[in-house]
Amino acid sequence: MRVCTVCALKENHPGILLGDDGVCSLCTLDFAGELMENFTYTNRVFQEFTRSGPNPHGDHDCLFMYSGGKDSTYMLDKFVNAYGKRVLSYTFDVPFESTHAAENIRLARERIPATYVVDSDDDTIKAMMREVFNRTPAKPGTYLDEKLPCVSCRSFFVIRAVLHAFRHRIPYVVLCADPQQILTMESDVREVVRGFYRTFGRRMTGELFRGELEEMLFADDGELPRIVFPYIALRYAYDPDRIVTELKEKGLYASSPMETHCTLFPLLNYYSFTNWDCMFYKLNAASQRRSERRNENHRRSTFSITFPRAADLPLIEERLKRVVLDIAGSRGDPAAQERELVVLFTRLGASDDAARFVARGFLTMRTTATDLGITLRSTGARA
């Protein structure tokens, strides 16, 4: 099978076209026009937000989507203590939240003077994830299909947050996507909702949101909250290593980026391997490789998850696929699988403790799937 000579994406990756020169459509920037339009819009909204005065309609200037990860923790601290914004920190309490993310949230509540609210709806989020994981995706697929469970989950949280802001007349919703996620995010509230309708259809969307989206869809533009992407607007200043260092110095972060993943991380890899023959972070790895190939002597990371340059990613991907599909099919020795996963994650840059933490999550993948009502195929892409 051919792979892109720049980023190493396979020619069968969803939404990717490989040219006669062996370079894929992402590397040739076929999407450049749309990308620049998104950058322009996010920059304008960010500047508008930072210059805005207090919200005249309520006690909060913005609703801040807070997950407990490094990016949202860092920017929550900035918005409250540097920008002086009156922040409503909004966390959707997912049933598969990482214990490390929960601990970071506890630290923030102790040290950052914002208003904290927690939203939850276990039955609804589980129903959505069952729908995504159990359906057979259409081939050849479109860009981001290998991330569909994650993208759908994030869109669900964003819509819930936007609805909360809309009801309480909060003009801005802050979302701390890292710079590369501009390719995976809609900037306009209505487009986020329309995209969800396209993925799940009117019936399922109506069940998940109980008919609340129509009022927002038909509201005047001035009534709709605008989404602020601070890291995308400040993309050249984004430095994940510096962010982690500063947070730990302030006592606001007690984990690593890999440890704050939700407990669905193993199932996300299962989904990508089974349906698209790639690991979950393949697009991230390809983006980093593309950046390094174009600017080999300048080590500046703009990615939330980075990969060591010396890592043999194709080999790691194949070994990870074997272990993930064996666990899904109840094959192999769990102790040996844990050792293998620890080796793979340390090669991807995780500390020993973080690698063990994530590896153990993979070993409970079948239990997590059963809890969500997800049916695991025993062979998948390995067959």
- Is residue 33's pLDDT more than 70? no
- Is residue 152's pLDDT more than 60? yes
For the ranges 66-80, 220-234, 285-299, the lowest mean pLDDT is seen at 285-299
Q: Which residue carries 């995010």 as its tokens? A: 185
Strand order in the sheet with 226-228: 115-119, 87-92, 62-65, 172-174, 226-228
Cβ-based neighbours of 354, under 8 Å, separated by 6 or more: 255, 256, 258, 259, 345
DSSP letters, 23-35, are -BTTTTTTTHHHH
Residue 143's pLDDT is 78
DSSP letters, 44-55, are HHHHHHHH----
How many Cα atoms occupy the beta-carbon half-sphere of 164 within 13 Å?
Answer: 23
- Give residue-wise pLDDT tens across range 259-271: 666 789 999 999 9
Q: Which residue carries 């109506």 as its tokens? A: 206
Cβ-based neighbours of 168, under 8 Å, separated by 6 or more: 58, 60, 63, 88
Alpha carbon separation from 49 to 53, 62, 179, 222, 232 (Å, rounded) = 8, 9, 18, 14, 14
Q: How confident is the model at residue 60 (pLDDT cuts 50, 70, 90)?
A: very high
Domains of the chain: 1-30 (no CATH), 32-249 (3.40.50.620), 263-382 (no CATH)
Residue 133: both structure tokens together = 């994981």
- Is residue 141's pLDDT more than 80? yes
Whole-number percent of the chain with pLDDT over 90 = 62
CA geometry: angle 303, 309, 314, nearest 5 deg: 95
**Helix extents (H) in the chain:** 32-51, 70-81, 99-111, 122-134, 148-167, 189-209, 213-217, 230-233, 240-249, 265-276, 282-294, 313-328, 334-347, 352-363, 365-372
Closest alpha carbon to 68 in 100, 46, 41:
100
How large is the average pLDDT for residues 203-213? 92
How large is the average pLDDT for residues 294-298? 57
Written as one letter, the residue type at 17 is L
CA geometry: angle 57, 86, 181, nearest 5 deg: 100
Written as one letter, the residue type at 334 is P
pTM, two decimal places: 0.86
Alpha carbon of residue 168 to chain centroid: 26
For the ranges 226-230, 262-266, 325-329, 344-348, the lowest mean pLDDT is seen at 262-266
Crossing angle between the packed helical segments 365-372 and 265-276, to the nearest 10 degrees? 90
- Give residue-wise pLDDT tens across range 62-95: 999 999 999 999 999 999 999 999 999 999 988 8
Closest alpha carbon to 59 in 79, 89, 87:
87
How large is the average pLDDT for residues 273-283? 92
Cβ-based neighbours of 175, under 8 Å, separated by 6 or more: 65, 158, 161, 185, 227, 228, 229
Residue 318: both structure tokens together = 């194949």
Cβ-based neighbours of 154, under 8 Å, separated by 6 or more: none
CB 248 within 8 A of CB 74: no
